[in-house]
Amino acid sequence: MRVSASMVIYNTDMGEVAHCVECLLRNGVYDIWVVDNSPKATDIHGIVGAKPELAEGNLRYIHRGDNPGYGAAHNCAIREAEAEGFEAHLALNTDIAFEPGVVGRLVEQLERDSEIGQISPRIISPDGTQQYAQRLLPTPYDVFGRRFLPRKMMAGRNRRYMLTERDDAQVADIPYHQGSFMLLRMEALREVGGFDERYFMYPEDIDITRRIHSKYKTIYYPGVSVVHDHRASSYRSMKMLWVHCRNMIKYFNKWGWWIDKERRRVNRATLEAMGMDRKGRRVTK
């Protein structure tokens, strides 16, 4: 299975980009798109010169100075990769690190089961703690309550939404995967139409996983892990918090705020399949 990859940058430190490229190369992924949403084009020739295993043209650079957003930038790469006949595409952040063999193990799962449209590994923080990056489809309460209500008040709800009591050593079909590291079957991307470009940032990963989940399995695979140095910029910047809220409003306008029958059905089925009750607690027999 031929695998391509893309990362989106915006005034990103090139050392970070080079390290992410290195991780991809050590995993045998040589066809890499760097989509640059920065106002001014970035010189990436230093990366190519430092990586002799990158043949001319393997590292593609697309400058989108108009900054169309995260999902739209990945779509630029996905369209080109699809035209070149790649069968799977890895959309990842630049702040991800992973050892050799990770992509290969995930590709093995795609090859074994044609019903898998999307797969993500265990995602951990630099200190080794689980990030719970695979979750239920959110309600407005899950999203805005986590931001603006006291943590104690949201404890039970967060347990359910983030699936913190699941057996994280077990493979699971989960309807929302955070977008830091997503391996996507190209056929599934073609069928659902890629990322929804109405979102500038944040809910594009919820939306695409949800659409793929309606037609394929979207699998959490704990057999391998990646390290995500998550910055959570919307927790530190009022500007990014506003961007997050505005785009989540677009998400709920699309799928439904309090009435969303598909969300209710999918979340209940997900909890049941993982042996959990409706409050996200593991059922003991």
**Distances in Å between the alpha carbon of 30 and those of 26, 106, 203, 228?**
9, 16, 29, 21
Q: φ, ψ for residue 9 (rounded to 5)?
A: -120, 155
Write down the pLDDT at residue 237: 77
- Residue 201's nearest CA partner among 69, 90, 83 is 69
Instruction: Tell me the β-bridge partners of 8.
Output: 35
Task: Output helix, strand, coil percentages for the chain, rounded to the nearest 5.
Answer: 40, 20, 40
- For 187, the enclosing helix (H) or strand (E) is helix 186-192
Write down the pLDDT at residue 234: 45
Write down the pLDDT at residue 106: 98
pLDDT in tens, 147-181: 888 888 888 899 999 999 999 999 999 999 999 99
Q: Report whether 168 contacts 218 (CB < 8 A).
A: no
Q: φ, ψ for residue 63 (rounded to 5)?
A: -100, 120
- Residue 42's nearest CA partner among 13, 71, 81, 79 is 13
The H helix count followed by the E strand count for the chain is: 10, 11
Rounded CA-CA distance 22/33 in Å is 13
pLDDT in tens, the chain (285 residues): 999 999 999 999 999 999 999 999 999 999 999 999 999 998 887 776 666 666 656 899 999 999 999 999 999 999 999 999 999 999 999 999 999 999 999 999 999 999 999 999 999 999 999 999 999 999 999 999 888 888 888 888 999 999 999 999 999 999 999 999 999 999 999 999 999 999 999 999 999 999 999 999 999 999 999 999 976 554 567 888 899 999 999 999 999 999 999 999 999 999 999 999 998 998 876
Dihedral angle sign, alpha carbons of residues 97, 6, 195, 147: positive
Tokens in use for 92?
A: 């990842």
Write down the pLDDT at residue 238: 85
Write down the pLDDT at residue 189: 98
pTM comes to 0.93
